[in-house]
Amino acid sequence: MTNGVAKMQFGVLLPHFGKTASPSRIIDGGKLCEELGFDSIWVRDHLIWNPHGMERAGLRFVEPFVTLSAVAAVTKKITLGTAVLVPVRWPLKLSQDLASLSYLAGGRVIAGIGLGFNPEELATVGMRLEDRVDIMRETVEIARLIWNEDNVSYKGKVFSFDHVTIEPKPVEPIPIFGGGSTRAAIRRVAEYCDGWIPGRVPLATFDDRVRYLRQITDRKIILGNIPITRIEKDRRKARDSVDVAALAESSEGSSHWIKPPSGKFQTIEDLEGLLIVGNPDDCAAEIEKYRGRGVEHLVFDLRLQYDRFEESLELISKELLPRFR
């Protein structure tokens, strides 16, 4: 804590999806993140993945726990986060996966968990979209029980089991961050999560949700965010490469975002908070907005330049991280 502002930690969304994903880019990239001074690496989660309009084509999607385990084997201290897991795993299996990752990595795990939004994806594993609120709550309840107790029995609306013990337990407590950016998501975070990591969300919407969160709970909730990031030494090159319309249209949360004064997301400025874009000075100014709002985990989503992933990491490490350390 410095001058009343929590220290900001910086993470990176790994390129484990899309046509640029490769073993070397994932594993060596994760190792490079640690070497360059990033605090965390993060993965997404899908069983059935349909690339958004702004994403590069390719159905390649490397499973998140396999990805994080591979990176854990070549790193020592960088935090391993999920942003966010969708309900395609039975909660006991998910709890075992997270506990085993913690055991192998010596702790350093954050579990971001969300509702999921694709009915086809949930149906593939026998889950129903209409049950997903109960699924998420029960998943969190089961995980916390099974991580801390033996011979656990549980009876919920969706899941039930008797007398289960899972070993190993997590090396240290695993914080659970809730995803989503609706007010309903905020209520779930306030009820049973340790943090909130909404993914990309415009700043006006983020501010509204944080105000609401503080109205409904006095608990300490860690704030995170995962803005789309496009950084170049040349400001115009960075800005010209962003398709604002495609980005707004392809975002699941756009229907409940607070609209800009024009009523439509048409410019980079309209997407303030969802994007970090420009030269290093531009990007630093945007990061400062998050820091002033108490964001403790800022994760760079570099998917627009995954083809130059390593170069982008070097630029951020050299030009941005020192300004906030």
Cβ atoms within 10 Å of 113's Cβ, excluding its own: 27
Q: Distance between CA atoms of 136 and 119, rounded to whole angstroms?
A: 15
Which tens digits make up the pLDDT trace of 2-53?
555 668 999 999 999 999 999 999 999 999 999 999 999 999 999 998 776 6
Neighbours of 119 (CB within 10 A): 13
Q: How far apart are CA 191 and CA 197, in angstroms?
A: 15
pLDDT of residue 263: 84
Query: For residues 242 and 248, what is the distance between their CA atoms, to the nearest angstrom?
Result: 11
- What is the predicted pLDDT for the residue at 200? 84
Q: Give the model's pLDDT for residue 50.
A: 79
pTM, two decimal places? 0.95
**Is-contact 102 109, C-beta < 8 A?**
yes
Supply the pLDDT for residue 171: 98
Residue 83 is inside which H or E element, if any?
A: strand 79-85
Amino acid letter, 176: I
CB atoms within 10 A of CB 7: 11
Per the structure block, which two tokens stand in for 153?
A: 């029995």
Q: What burial class does residue 238 get, using C-beta atoms within 10 Å of its C-beta: 0-12 exposed, 13-18 middle, 19+ buried? A: buried
pLDDT tens digits for 145-188? 999 999 999 999 999 999 999 999 999 999 999 999 999 999 99
Which residue has tokens 């506990």? 99
115: left (phi over 0), alpha (psi -120 to 50) or beta: alpha
**Residues lower than pLDDT 50 in the chain:** 1
| Domain boundary assignment for the chain | 9-324
Q: Specify the CATH number of the domain 9-324.
A: 3.20.20.30
DSSP codes of every residue in 293-325: TTEEEEEEB-GGGGGGHHHHHHHHHHHTGGGG-
Structure confidence at residue 251 (pLDDT): 62
